[in-house]
């Protein structure tokens, strides 16, 4: 479920300045007081790379982080719509369940790791291991992704508008990857497949929601060849 | 974990503020390595044949007067000793091999941490912020600094196993990660007469790279050779008298981020270490890519 909240009136906005306050104070509000507070929008000032900003939110709320976040921002998110007006560290939106996390800058490693649902948009580049072990999340990256992205990705879609690094989709399960730029190399059992009408429509929808104006027809589809699903006793250490 | 801390001042007017700008990076990276810390600061260059040696004593109230007197007696030379608790910087005309050998023979409890014309090294156990206060890191000035906060995995928590490690002259390295083949590297180097001082994996990487450079490699070529021969996980930050270099191994599972402005190049394991720097919000921020060389000249 995505929440779209446009109510920005001061009465329903709560601001947390992490310069004097703590991440714990912010997260305790989000976890325990938010639901009954009537607050529809939370603004986080001076994040200064702090870890675990707005993790574990379980309520529809719009959260704006004004600056660069640290590790695990928006982790385990359910229902909330979080926008980071800056870059983020490792593990943004890790294990996200639903809702949306948008990063205006770049994301460090393991963005969207193990995510089950929702949409993660990274407008800049994502570093190595983007979408590692993703389990149903949709990830749209405006730039490129680093090596080992979508390693053992189980379900969901990863859309990369730029280039992909080495070993893309290594040991892929049922997640599907779409890459507009150059793929440096595919990982074991990942293969390029033709784009079907459903792929075009799906990528088009994700790009529209991400606010990125690319032609879905420019993307390549990468999916699992499913050769690693069963043990092959004759493989002779080939993998 | 472990924390990487680096700062190179591009604007000479800021060199007196090197320590003041660096110390908050170290403080913030203390969470990644709360057990011990250290740094190498690169200062104004000594003239002629002069060399300086950073020396560590086992106790804070160490009586350095005996060392100084016997040093002058032995070498018959002008020598100056600047003491900060259990650290001292010795400035003299003697070459590293002679100073190290003599110190080891006559003051076995002292440990020569570094040698060169521009490098001063401090390292100790304890919380990095306490160490910064202990040695007044905020007052340091110079062109660049290579620092580290340590969470030990590969050897004991002692001052000599804290980073940076040094080899040769005006060369140091700090490391986040683990080297998997330090004993292979060590055996290879020991055959060539290179002496190790600890059982630490990072020392092997440091001595390997310095050996390559002594054999004629540029820093860049030495690092490329390192990609081939050093097995393991690493983010390395390396300081020489004229350069600061940053590299990550192919798997790049140890972090680093760089902020570059017209005034400085600042490096930390995480952005939170850099968040206090003036102008950082308009800095060029990027993460080093695996097996790419990032080298800045002083």
Interface touch B252/A51, C-beta < 8 Å = no
Q: Which residues in chain A are closer than 8 Å to B272, comparing Cβ atoms?
A: 48-51, 70
Interface touch B252/A146, C-beta < 8 Å = yes
Res A62 pLDDT > 50: yes
Could you tell me the pLDDT band of residue A1, with boundaries at 50, 70 and 90? Answer: very low
Could you tell me the pLDDT band of residue B162, with boundaries at 50, 70 and 90? Answer: very high
Res B190 pLDDT > 70: yes
Higher pLDDT, A6 or B64: B64
Q: To the nearest whole number, what is the mean pLDDT of chain B?
A: 96
pLDDT digits (tens, 9 = 90+) for A96-153: 999 999 999 999 999 999 999 999 999 999 999 999 999 999 999 999 999 999 999 9
**pLDDT recorded at residue B128:** 98
Cβ–Cβ contact A49 with B under 8 A: yes
Could you tell me the pLDDT band of residue A8, with boundaries at 50, 70 and 90? Answer: low
Could you tell me the pLDDT band of residue A175, with boundaries at 50, 70 and 90? Answer: very high
Res B130 pLDDT > 60: yes
Q: What's the rounded Cα separation, in Å, for the pair A93 and A99?
A: 10
Question: Domains plus CATH for chain A?
Answer: 10-224 (2.160.20.60)
Interface touch B273/A49, C-beta < 8 Å = yes
**pLDDT recorded at residue A6:** 56
Interval A182-195 mean pLDDT: 98
Cβ–Cβ contact A130 with B under 8 A: no
Q: To the nearest whole number, what is the mean pLDDT of chain A?
A: 95
Closest CA to A157 of A132, A143, A140, A145: A140
**pLDDT recorded at residue B76:** 84
The ipTM is 0.93
What's the CATH code, domain B46-117? 3.30.70.100
**pLDDT recorded at residue B14:** 97
Q: Which residues in chain B are closer than 8 Å to A71, comparing Cβ atoms?
A: 270
HSE toward the beta carbon, residue B10, CA cutoff 13 A: 10
Interval B18-32 mean pLDDT: 98
Q: What DSSP string runs through A133-154?
A: T-EEEEEEESS-B-TTTTTT--
Best mutation target among B257, B267, B271 (most A Cβ atoms within 10 Å) is: B271
Residue with tokens 């294990």: A95
Q: What's the rounded Cα separation, in Å, for the pair B224 and B131?
A: 34
Interval B158-165 mean pLDDT: 96
Q: How far is CA B13 from CA A130, B147, B284, in A?
A: 41, 22, 21
* Cβ-based contacts under 8 A for chains A and B: 43
For chain B, domain boundaries: 2-43+128-297, 46-117
Q: What's the rounded Cα separation, in Å, for the pair A69 and B268?
A: 15
* Residues in Cβ contact with B216 at an 8 Å cutoff, skipping those fewer than 6 apart: none
Interval B150-155 mean pLDDT: 92
Question: Strands across the sheet with A41-45, in order?
Answer: A13-17, A41-45, A62-66, A81-84, A100-103, A119-122, A135-141, A155-160, A176-179, A220-224, A190-193
pLDDT digits (tens, 9 = 90+) for B78-108: 899 999 989 999 999 999 999 999 999 999 9
Interface touch B270/A49, C-beta < 8 Å = yes
Res B45 pLDDT > 90: yes
The residue in chain A having the minimum alpha-carbon distance to the alpha carbon of residue B288 is: A127
**pLDDT recorded at residue A235:** 73
**pLDDT recorded at residue A233:** 79
Could you tell me the pLDDT band of residue A2, with boundaries at 50, 70 and 90? Answer: very low
**pLDDT recorded at residue A7:** 57
Q: Is the dihedral of CA B21, B293, B175, B239 positive or negative?
A: negative
B172 belongs to the catalytic site: no
Cβ–Cβ contact A112 with B under 8 A: no
Q: What is the DSSP letter of A93?
A: T
Write the burial class of residue B216 (CB in 10 Å: 0-12 exposed, 13-18 middle, 19+ buried).
exposed
Res A13 pLDDT > 50: yes
Res A228 pLDDT > 50: yes
pLDDT digits (tens, 9 = 90+) for A189-199: 999 999 999 99
Res A4 pLDDT > 70: no
Res A5 pLDDT > 60: no
Tokens (6 digits) for B187: 């055996």
Q: Which of 3.60.20.10, 3.40.50.1220, 3.40.50.410, 3.40.47.10 is the CATH number of B2-43+128-297? A: 3.60.20.10
Please say whether the beta carbons of A140 and A120 come within 8 A: yes
Interface touch A108/B287, C-beta < 8 Å = yes
Could you tell me the pLDDT band of residue B1, with boundaries at 50, 70 and 90? Answer: confident
């Amino acid at each position: 479920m995505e929440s779209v909240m446009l109510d920005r009136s001061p009465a329903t906005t709560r601001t947390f300045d992490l310069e004097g306050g703590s991440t714990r104070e912010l997260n305790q509000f989000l976890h325990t007081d938010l639901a009954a507070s009537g607050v529809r929008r939370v603004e986080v000032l001076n994040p200064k790379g702090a870890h675990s900003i707005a993790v574990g939110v379980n309520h529809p709320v719009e959260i704006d982080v004004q600056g660069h976040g640290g590790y695990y921002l928006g982790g385990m998110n359910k229902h909330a719509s979080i926008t980071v007006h800056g870059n983020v560290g490792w593990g943004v939106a890790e294990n996200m369940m639903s809702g949306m996390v948008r990063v205006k800058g770049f994301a460090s490693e393991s963005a969207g790791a193990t995510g089950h649902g929702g949409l993660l948009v990274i407008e800049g580049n994502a570093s190595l291991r983007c979408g590692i072990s993703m389990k149903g999340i949709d990830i749209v990256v405006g730039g490129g992704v680093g090596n080992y992205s979508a390693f053992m990705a189980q379900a969901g879609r990863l859309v990369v508008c730029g280039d992909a690094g080495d070993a893309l989709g290594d040991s892929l399960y049922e997640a599907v990857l779409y890459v507009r730029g150059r793929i440096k190399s595919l990982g074991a059992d990942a293969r390029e497949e033709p784009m079907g009408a459903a792929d075009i429509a799906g990528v088009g929808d994700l790009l529209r929601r991400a606010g990125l104006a690319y032609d879905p027809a420019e993307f390549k589809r990468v999916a699992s060849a499913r050769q690693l699903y069963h043990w092959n006793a004759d493989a002779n250490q080939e993998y | 974990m472990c924390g990487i801390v680096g700062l190179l001042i591009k604007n000479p007017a800021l060199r007196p503020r090197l320590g003041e700008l660096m110390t908050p990076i170290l403080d913030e990276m203390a969470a990644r390595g709360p057990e011990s810390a250290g740094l190498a600061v690169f200062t104004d260059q000594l003239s002629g044949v002069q060399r300086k040696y950073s020396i560590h004593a086992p106790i804070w109230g160490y009586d350095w007067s005996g060392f100084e007197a016997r040093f002058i007696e032995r070498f018959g030379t002008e020598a100056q000793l600047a003491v900060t608790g259990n650290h001292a910087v010795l400035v003299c005309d003697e070459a590293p091999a002679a100073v190290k050998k003599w110190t080891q023979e006559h003051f076995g409890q002292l440990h020569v941490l570094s040698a060169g014309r521009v490098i001063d090294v401090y390292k100790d156990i304890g919380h990095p912020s306490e160490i910064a206060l202990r040695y007044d890191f905020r007052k340091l000035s110079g062109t660049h600094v290579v620092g580290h906060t340590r969470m030990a995995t590969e050897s004991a928590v002692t001052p000599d196993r804290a980073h940076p490690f040094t080899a040769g002259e005006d060369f140091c390295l700090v490391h986040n990660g683990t080297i998997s083949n330090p004993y292979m590297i060590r055996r290879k180097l020991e055959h060539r007469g290179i002496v190790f001082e600890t059982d630490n994996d990072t020392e092997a990487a440091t001595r390997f790279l310095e050996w390559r450079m002594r054999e004629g490699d540029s820093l860049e070529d030495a690092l490329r050779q390192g990609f081939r021969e050093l097995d393991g996980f690493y983010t390395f930050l390396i300081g020489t008298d004229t350069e600061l270099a940053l590299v990550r191994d192919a798997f790049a599972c140890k972090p680093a981020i760089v902020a570059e402005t017209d005034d400085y190049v600042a490096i930390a394991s995480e952005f939170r270490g850099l968040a206090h720097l003036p102008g950082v919000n308009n800095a060029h921020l990027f993460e080093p890519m695996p097996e790419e060389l990032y080298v800045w000249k002083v």
